[in-house]
Amino acid sequence: MSNYIFRRVLLSVPTLLAISIIIFAILALAPGDPLSQLALNPGIPESTRQLIRTQFGLDDPWPVRYWKWLTSLLRGDWGFSFSSRSPVIDIVMQRVPQTLQVVGFAYLLAVVLAIPIGILAAVRQYSWFDQLATVFSFVGFSVPSFFTGLLLMLVFAVRLKWFPIVYDSLLGFGSATEVLAQLRQMAMPVTVLVVQQTAALTRFTRSAMLDNLGQNYVRTARAKGLPYRRVVLRHVFSNSLIPIVTLVALSIPTIFGGAIITENLFRVNGLGALLITSINNSDTPVVMALSFVFAVLMVFSNLVADVMYGVLDPRVRYN
């Protein structure tokens, strides 16, 4: 196992290197000037702007700039934001708690809800519960997140005034009142993310369970007199975990990407809002850092999924 993990980590290095080259080349060749905001300030002369461009190496060819970025990244320097005039790593770390608070909680809630619903829908195939879960899954997976978010805002924030429209990032968990206020403002963005993720995970769990419910080992276990609940949970669900774990692990980067729309819709001051703001301002160091973080998250999720195969299925061997 350790040798396999070591080989996969070594393989991920050229993968991430190739991804970083592609992302950097696209950002470097895309239209837009990182110092465009300085051009709007009449107090900054052209000579000063040119000096700043030279200082940051913006006039160098993009392969040279990429090499400088890569060597700085290896030293722990993520670059310097042109918009906020501060190190990129400080900006990203300031936004991570907000994203984890909303996206992380939403994903955990989606997994907790989707797996039991998928199991029950498979066990009670074609029942009213299965039909209801199927309709919910199709609707939740098909409707875009911005439509769901706008609908929740219109009904629960504008009409009923149950929840605030704008997310207050300065609100903490110090007192019971703050905890309640935090939960109220998290309700709508978390619901939007939970609906989509629960729909996808429910359908996948149901499908994986149905593939195993008709196998011979299930009939053998039932013929031995084992309770049906034990057969489902101990045998069928255990053998269905590999595709479920694959989807759960690979959906982690996906939900971070999907949170970009949700965070901008509800004004959550997280990584998604930071990415959109940086793109609009042509702040390429921040865009590059966030894109690379998402790429690392995807590669790491693949590694976790592959390792979990050996834990869940003894037949999987890492030679």
Domain CATH code at residue 176 = 1.10.3720.10
Q: Which two tokens stand for residue 169?
A: 């990032």
Confidence of residue 310 (pLDDT cuts 50, 70, 90): confident
- Note whether residue 154 is domain-resident: yes
Q: Does residue 30 sit within a domain?
A: no
pLDDT, one tens digit per residue, over 53-111 is 777 777 788 888 899 889 988 888 888 887 777 888 988 888 888 888 888 888 889 99
Residue 156 lies in a domain: yes
Q: What is the pTM of this model?
A: 0.80
How many residues are there in the chain?
319
- Asked whether residue 297 is domain-assigned, the answer is no
Look at the chain and report how many structural domains it folds into. Answer: 1
Two structure tokens written together for 207: 């499908």
Q: What is the per-residue pLDDT for 18?
A: 93
The tokens 């195969």 sit on which residue? 309
pLDDT in tens, 1-17: 677 777 778 888 899 99
In a domain, 232, yes or no: yes
If you average pLDDT over every residue of the chain, what do you get?
83
CA distance 250 to 304: 9
Q: Is the pLDDT of residue 42 over 70?
A: no
Nearest-5° Cα angle at 118, 112 to 124: 135
Instruction: Over range 147-159, report the average pLDDT.
Output: 87
Does residue 309 lie within any of the structural domains? no
What pLDDT, on a 0 to 100 scale, did the predictor assign at position 319?
60
Residues of the domain holding 158: 98-284
Identify the pLDDT of residue 41. 62
169: confidence class by pLDDT, cuts 50, 70, 90? low
Residue 1: inside a domain, yes or no?
no
Nearby residues of 50 by Cβ (< 8 Å), 6 or more positions away: none
Q: Is residue 75 part of a domain?
A: no
Range of 18-22, 296-300, 311-315 with top mean pLDDT: 18-22
Give the residue among 132, 128, 131, 148 at the shortest CA–CA distance from 140: 148
